[in-house]
Amino acid sequence: TYNLDAQVGESSACATALLCGVKANFETVGLDGGGRFEDCFSSYNSRVESLLSWAQQEGKLY
Protein backbone atom coordinates (compact mmCIF):
# COMPACT_ATOMS: atom_id res chain seq x y z
CA THR A 1 0.00 0.00 0.00
CA TYR A 2 1.07 3.63 -0.27
CA ASN A 3 0.55 6.98 1.43
CA LEU A 4 -1.59 9.83 0.12
CA ASP A 5 1.23 12.37 0.18
CA ALA A 6 4.35 10.27 -0.47
CA GLN A 7 5.62 7.80 -3.06
CA VAL A 8 6.96 5.40 -0.44
CA GLY A 9 4.74 3.87 2.21
CA GLU A 10 5.73 3.81 5.89
CA SER A 11 4.45 1.66 8.70
CA SER A 12 1.93 3.90 10.50
CA ALA A 13 0.08 5.11 7.41
CA CYS A 14 0.15 1.63 5.86
CA ALA A 15 -1.27 0.13 9.07
CA THR A 16 -4.07 2.71 8.95
CA ALA A 17 -4.85 1.70 5.38
CA LEU A 18 -4.91 -2.00 6.22
CA LEU A 19 -6.80 -1.83 9.54
CA CYS A 20 -9.14 1.10 8.85
CA GLY A 21 -9.69 0.84 5.10
CA VAL A 22 -8.62 4.46 4.56
CA LYS A 23 -5.42 5.77 2.98
CA ALA A 24 -3.45 8.13 5.22
CA ASN A 25 -0.74 10.77 5.00
CA PHE A 26 2.93 10.10 5.75
CA GLU A 27 3.69 9.54 9.47
CA THR A 28 0.07 9.59 10.66
CA VAL A 29 -1.87 6.73 12.22
CA GLY A 30 -5.64 6.41 12.65
CA LEU A 31 -6.35 9.56 10.63
CA ASP A 32 -7.75 10.05 7.14
CA GLY A 33 -6.24 12.35 4.49
CA GLY A 34 -7.22 15.44 6.47
CA GLY A 35 -4.83 14.56 9.29
CA ARG A 36 -1.40 16.15 9.08
CA PHE A 37 1.85 15.22 10.82
CA GLU A 38 2.69 17.63 13.68
CA ASP A 39 -0.69 19.40 13.36
CA CYS A 40 -2.72 18.31 16.37
CA PHE A 41 -5.79 20.33 15.44
CA SER A 42 -6.15 18.43 12.16
CA SER A 43 -6.80 15.22 14.11
CA TYR A 44 -10.13 16.38 15.55
CA ASN A 45 -12.07 15.85 12.32
CA SER A 46 -9.82 13.21 10.76
CA ARG A 47 -10.13 10.22 13.08
CA VAL A 48 -11.25 6.93 11.55
CA GLU A 49 -12.56 3.73 13.12
CA SER A 50 -10.49 0.57 12.93
CA LEU A 51 -11.06 -3.13 12.64
CA LEU A 52 -10.64 -3.39 16.42
CA SER A 53 -13.41 -0.89 17.17
CA TRP A 54 -15.74 -2.66 14.72
CA ALA A 55 -15.07 -5.98 16.49
CA GLN A 56 -15.66 -4.42 19.91
CA GLN A 57 -18.99 -2.97 18.74
CA GLU A 58 -20.05 -6.49 17.74
CA GLY A 59 -19.07 -7.88 21.15
CA LYS A 60 -16.05 -9.81 19.88
CA LEU A 61 -13.59 -8.76 22.56
CA TYR A 62 -11.37 -11.86 22.53
Question: Domain residue spans in the chain?
Answer: 11-57
CA distance readout (Å), 60 to 7, 19, 30, 50, 57: 36, 16, 21, 14, 8
Question: Tens of pLDDT along 6-55?
Answer: 988 899 999 999 999 999 999 999 999 999 998 989 999 999 999 989 99
Residues shown for the chain: 62
DSSP the chain: ---SS-SS--HHHHHHHHHHS----TT-SSB-TT-BTTBGGGGTTTB---HHHHHHHTT---
- Residues 11, 43, 46, 53: which is the catalytic one? 11
Q: What pTM, to 2 d.p., does this model score?
A: 0.80
- What's the pLDDT band for 1 if we cut at 50, 70, 90? confident
Residue 11 annotated to the active site = yes
